[in-house]
Amino acid sequence: MAKYDPVKQKDWQIAEIAEAEMISFDAMCDKLQIPKDERIPHGQKIGRVDYMKCLNRLRSKPDGKYIEVTAITPTPLGEGKSTTSMGLIEGLGKRGVNVGGCIRQPSGGPTMNVKGTAAGGGISLLIPMTEFSLGLTGDINNIMNAHNLAMVAATARLQHEFNYDDAQLAKRNLKRLNIDPKNFEMGWIMDYCGQALRHIIIGMGGKMDGFMMKSSFGIAVSSEVMAILSVFTSLEDLRTRLNNMVVAYDKKGNPVTTGDLEVGNAMTAWMLPSINPTLMQTVEGQPCFVHAGPFANIAVGQSSIVADQIGLKLFDYHITESGFGADIGFEKFWNVKCRFSGLIPNVSVLTATVRGLKHHGVKAGALPCPPGKPVPKEYFSAGKETMKWLEEGVENAVHHVRSIKKAGINPVVCINSFHFDSDEEHAVIRRACEAEGARVAVSKHWQYGGEGALEFADAVIEACKDKPQFKFLYPNEMPLRQRVETIAKEVYGADGVDFAPEAVAKAKRFEADPKYNEYATMMVKTHLSLTADPTKKGTPKGWRLPVRDFLVYGGAKFICPVCGAISLMPGTGSDPAFRRVDVDVKSGKVTGLF
């Protein structure tokens, strides 16, 4: 019997077998020739790498090939970007090349809810899986502490300014900031999907219990601090960004920043351990960093720039992953991460599944896959009816291939294959995507690991031989609303954009100030549709994108157009994953993670 059988074994069972034989953190560092003074162990299995020392040591070494992994518009369960990233690393490893990668740290929200751990799946899995899924080396905890410290600073200051006159404030070496309690940019964060906390009242009680006001919670990965961890490029840059976060506005509408509250430096102290990426490995023993974890529908959706910087020095092929579908994850990689980092990708991998593309065959009668519900059994067979779903739904993959080509990046379509797929179904996807000029590979990494990903690895190696003709979608000088229109039309396929009056007023203010030219346009949109309506599947035509508001992240330097009814705090479904997670009280091992 084979060591691993994903058809019969759960991911946590595969991880348990692999972890018994995994390479120790020190042995992995020895393999990568990382000296002892750059190692920050966290137990025996994992640890951080001191990115500043590592990057300084390798600064003169040429970069390896830079490969991004994205996906079609997903079902609520996702289409396997992390699985594909791990599979590609394992496949390239089987080809004998020096390969590694970096993926995002999972949020406790999806891990304990519907989507799972984001460690990959089957034999294409990141280990140790339990540590990865349950906090890892503490980055999200540090982000929550840093973010909530800013809110503590702002709400305490609001209380003191309400209770004390200017003379009393002066005795405490404070000047009145005149914070408007009705105009906060930030709320509190936690790392779960807690819809009951979206709208709250704080400060109830006496005058020493705070100032009573409306407030809110978002999920931790939506925090601007998480976004900053993803895009910072030096410790000095990190501290500057953490001091420029807009917490609220004063009564004249001027921003009140973390620097004004004198809290940004302390936030940097909380974040200091988290500037260094965590080094882990695949089931087959290839290295992979984990660093940062912002969602792509409400944030930047990328692992960190600094992890990519050192990965490109350590590896000849460095794999990175963008969140959700290519309309948001890849678009932000293309126009935000690459702009901030100056790094040029060689290849973008579009992950597609037969199941996911059938899901987009709505005009052909595809059954819905609502969040929190099992995928209908019809998706797992190749009948005459479901083949029609696929033939129509494959246009969604074609749409994303065209977007990648607009960036001047070589697209490789990876058909993330499962044991219930048919060759005929794969052929439908191959024909459609090859007709658009993409390389296409069927990969069975989920079931067979690196051996199942050799065709995929070879396609990526070939694509890396072509010189990319990289270009951004828009210049920094393009006005904000025109940028949004360009993204909506060129990436989403919209006919245009409808801005709400409040959004127009804010946009005019941003467009009038040249400093905002350098701010990235960070779209906030559902990941479940090309449109702003998560129920609209396929490749819709004849629609317009509604923008109801703009958020500003002064430290990350993002302006965020908010499209549709998306919330910064997702909700927990009726059948969440935490119902199946347990601990074996004799061995202390966690079971049930997926």
Q: Which residues are catalytic?
A: 81, 83, 104, 115, 296, 324, 418, 446
Distance CA 322, CA 553 (A): 20
Distance CA 271, CA 227 (A): 13
> Is 523:328 a contact under the CB 8 Å cutoff?
yes
Distance CA 300, CA 331 (A): 10
Residue 565's DSSP bridge partners are none
> Is 491:563 a contact under the CB 8 Å cutoff?
no
Strands 246-250, 255-257: pairing kind:
antiparallel
Cβ count near 208 (within 10 Å): 7
State the angle between helix axes of 224-231 and 264-271 in degrees (0 to 180), rounded to the nearest 10: 60
Output the CA angle 215-219-224, nearest 5 degrees. Answer: 85
Encode burial over 536-569: b for 16+ CB neighbours within 10 A, e otherwise. Answer: bbbbeeebebbbbebbbbbbbbbbbbbbbebbbb
Distance CA 350, CA 85 (A): 11
Distance CA 400, CA 411 (A): 9
CA distances from 79 to 126, 141, 243, 245, 422 (A): 17, 28, 38, 34, 17
Look-up: residue for tokens 């020095």? 313
Cβ count near 445 (within 10 Å): 34
> Is 189:151 a contact under the CB 8 Å cutoff?
no
Distance CA 239, CA 255 (A): 18
Distance CA 73, CA 79 (A): 8
DSSP letter string over 116-140? ---SEETTEEEESHHHHHTTTTSHH
> Is 357:350 a contact under the CB 8 Å cutoff?
no
> Is 231:337 a contact under the CB 8 Å cutoff?
yes
Residue 496's DSSP bridge partners are 544
